[in-house]
Structure 1
Amino acid sequence: MEGHMPVGGQAGGLLLRRVIRGQRGRVVSASALGMTHQACEASVPVVIGAAIDSAVATGSAQSLLRWLVVLGVLFLVLSTCYRTSARIAEGAGEHAAHLLRLELGARVLDPRGGADANRLPGALTSIATNDASRVGAVAEVLPYGSAAIAALVVSAVALFGISVPLGLLVLLGIPPLLWLGHRISRPLERRSEAEQESAAYASGVAADLVSGLRVLKGMGAESAAVARYRTTSQDSLAAALRAARSRAGHEGALLGLTGVFIALIGIAGAYLAMDGSISVGDLVAAVGLAQFLLGPFQLLAWADPAVAQARATARRRAQG
């Protein structure tokens, strides 16, 4: 079986790239809007810190009003970009899944045969629903992942502006964190592939049982058929539970690592403020950015396993 994995993996990767290319316009526009949204979000604590130093500390009402206007514009832009980006990204995922279903239908109806070879009808139903949705979801997830990475970059640049040590802490800490998150997703990818295969087989057995119910009754074999389906269904449930536990473990581990990383940024910022290296406004901005970083990391914690599941499903489809 391992000898076939590279071929399936390459074909699965080609399928994912084809899905993304097919929704290129939507993915690019949603990514650009999402990155703008995240850049504006990252700018909010920086603007608040600047307002504290230049307006609150000096007691200037005019300066405070100007910074409030800047904040209002920021929130208007980030809100508009987020809503538009989310709508386009959702459309990209749905369109991609729909095209995959049409492709499967064309292969099933092809007189020369195709996707229905050696498959039960229920298995085809599972592929046309669950599998297509998971593979198509990569076109929806990609803009969110791009926006999260943009947020991390903007936050690192902002922290560099506040303090070089803080910027270096983020810049040097993010790559290992992302690498660890990717490594943690490997078990989820394997278990997701097994889950989808088991679910498709269970659907096929159920459809086969229903279509042959009259024959089974005539033969008096209902109990044997029900026992077979019960075993298959339990196997499918066990695979789904293993995948769910793996996903929960992945998200929990990544968020735990993220919490430690954010706490380190906050501690470093507080130390620099006490040392007089940064101002009170800079400390507020640094702590705000540290708290903001939780959002992009949560996005990555959601996007990475979703891509892993899409990759596993695409590889299974390619092998089938």
Structure 2
Amino acid sequence: MITLPDPVPPRPSITSPTAYILSMARLQRRTLAGGALLGVLWMGSQAAIPLVVGNTIDAGLVARDSSALVTGCLVLVGLAFASAFSGMMRHRFAVSNWLLGALRSQHLVGHHVADHGLAVSGKVTTGEVVQAVSTDGPRFADLMDIAARGTGTVVAFGAVAVYLLRIDLAIGLFVVIGMPLLAAGLIVLIQPLQSRQSRHRAREGDLTSLGADTVAGLRVLRGIGGEDQFTARYAEHSQEVRRAGVRVAGLQALLDAAHVLLPGAFLAGLTWLAGHGVVEGRLSVGDLVTVYAVTAFLQLPLQTSTEVLSRWVRARVAAERLIGVLGRSVPTSATTDLPEPNGVLHDPPSGLTVPVGSLTALVSARPETGIEIADRLAALAPGARLGDLPLEHLPADLVRRRVVLSEADPRLFTGTLREQIDPLGRHTDEEVLGAVHTADAFDVLTGLPEGLDAPVAERGRDFSGGQRQRLALARALLLATHPDVEVLVLVEPTSAVDAHTEARIADRLHASRSGKTTLVVSSSPLVLDRCDRVVFLDEGRVGASGTHRSLLSSSPRYREVVVRSETVAEETRR
């Protein structure tokens, strides 16, 4: 089995696209150095062939020295073998460098999204994440692939330029000055190409996001007859992507034409200078053959140099998009000091404190406020504290071990039912079934012939919304049984089930979480009545607290919010 490059991907610099490219290159510096060495040997051996041919002609044929002729032929055979072997090995290193670059970027994005969750999805669309993995990672890796050939090109050009300067000053200066001017002319075309590619890439991401959102809501669209409207919208966005692609292709075609025209004009001028030198008697026959052979060889370095420039542009665009995803995160510091065990969870912006060992409910006049607080308590947004220490000062993986958050929108993945409930695979069947019982999800289990080993389709699309919600609740309850977990935060865990199921879940949740720190964000009276304490938020701050029944009699505003939410829930269930 071939493992990933790094079990936990190291964090590259994301201050700029160039910084990202350089820091990622440092991670694979060994394979890049090996490829560069082989690239120098490969390109250098080819560059040496014209020089050896010219010397062999002058020393062996013109001077009629058979030993020099034989020696020159043997050297040419050796150079041919060296070129073939180094070319083969260089290609292996190039493929390895491409794979490492692509896999590291893809692994980095996947690991980052898994670590920071809502902090990424709340600011970056699903399409952007998909494009970063499927498109930007491989495009960035294209630069790693060509690094070996690019290094060989620089070294070979330097060697050829020195040799040509020794043969003839005019020819040498033509190469030394002409090649940089040629590159400068191509850069003039590459700069606008980069901006057009960036705009095209942005529109591709928007289109992917639109497609993902449309597919996710296809059932709803069919129910309201909105398929035609969204089809037209998708077609309109597709045309925008096409037009942006045509603009990129037009400039890319101009650049490709320049790749042929400019090097062709350069090589034609070099050939004319060599022929003129022979006519004037400055060059020998061997020198003429050398210049002609060098002219043919220089096509490869010229082509490679323009390809390097083109890939550099694409890599910078890809790195910029990767940074856009990696830069969306919850800020953390390197602090590793832990609060005392069973530290009190506190949210200063709202004034909420979750008492240790209690089942606490959070009711908000604005449902969004409750979700925002849950995000802060799980360190998906800064602001909350565990004990005396801000959660954002703790490493993300440590917070995940101590605070378990179950979101309002449950996510299921491809795999078995057992893997959905026990993703870490560290619980017995009895413990798994206990969590299933608490979440009242036995009907899901009994409806599948294979039981816990039954396969689950992507996103759990074969289950109803209530079934997915209850499976996600069972998963959260099972994770919260680990000794490291101090707090369980549940966001609307029963919003998609009927009243009878909700009542059973509320009773079982109260029993299973007795004496354990739990916060439930909900406005359901059935859940609120079974909680030890209810905290009511008004205008984003704690306005009242107590039992559900005491708040119903003492707080009209609380009673209004709960009754209204129950009415909405009943209408939704119907």
Please indicate, yes or no, whether the TM-score normalized by the shorter chain is above 0.5.
Answer: yes
1:318 aligns with 2:323: yes
Alignment of 1:230-309 (within 5 A): 230-309=235-314
Greater fraction strand: 2
Identity of matched residues, %: 25
- Among 67, 89, 114, the alignment partner of 1:109 is 114
Unmatched 5+ stretches in structure 2? 1-13, 326-574
Amino acid at match of 1:52: I
* Superposition RMSD in Å: 1.9
Cα distance, 1:35 vs structure 2: 1.4
1:51 aligns with 2:67: no
Cα distance, 1:10 vs structure 2: 5.0
- Mapped to 1, the partners of 2:154 and 2:189 lie a distance apart of 18
1:154 aligns with 2:159: yes
**In the alignment, which residue of structure 2 is the partner of 1:131?**
136
Does the 8 Å contact 1:141/1:307 carry over to 2?
no
Does the 8 Å contact 2:139/2:318 carry over to 1?
yes
1:221 aligns with 2:236: no
Q: Which has the higher contact order (CA 8 A, sep 6+)?
A: 1
- Mapped to 1, the partners of 2:36 and 2:73 lie a distance apart of 28
- Mapped to 2, the partners of 1:23 and 1:111 lie a distance apart of 26
Aligned residues: 313
Which secondary structure does the structure 2 equivalent of 1:290 belong to?
helix
- Mapped to 1, the partners of 2:300 and 2:201 lie a distance apart of 30
Does the 8 Å contact 2:43/2:156 carry over to 1?
yes
Does the 8 Å contact 1:46/1:285 carry over to 2?
yes
1:140 aligns with 2:121: no
Does the 8 Å contact 1:247/1:305 carry over to 2?
no
**In the alignment, which residue of structure 2 is the partner of 1:3?**
none
Deviations 1:17-54 (A, max 9, x none): 11211111111111121112111111111111112112
- Mapped to 1, the partners of 2:130 and 2:233 lie a distance apart of 20
Amino acid at match of 1:294: Q
Greater fraction helix: 1
TM-score by structure 2 length?
A: 0.52
**In the alignment, which residue of structure 1 is the partner of 2:95?**
90
Does the 8 Å contact 2:132/2:321 carry over to 1?
no
- Mapped to 1, the partners of 2:120 and 2:280 lie a distance apart of 68
**In the alignment, which residue of structure 2 is the partner of 1:172?**
177
Which secondary structure does the structure 1 equivalent of 2:317 belong to?
helix
**In the alignment, which residue of structure 2 is the partner of 1:19?**
24
Deviations 1:116-164 (A, max 9, x none): 3333323321111101111222222222222222221111112122212
**In the alignment, which residue of structure 2 is the partner of 1:203?**
208
Deviations 1:151-179 (A, max 9, x none): 21111112122212211221122222222
**In the alignment, which residue of structure 1 is the partner of 2:336?**
none
Cα distance, 1:114 vs structure 2: 4.0
Alignment of 1:35-50 (within 5 A): 35-50=40-55
Cα distance, 1:112 vs structure 2: 5.3
- Mapped to 2, the partners of 1:143 and 1:244 lie a distance apart of 27
Question: 1:262/1:256 Cα in 2 relative to 1: closer, same or farther (>3 Å)?
Answer: same
TM-score by structure 1 length?
A: 0.92
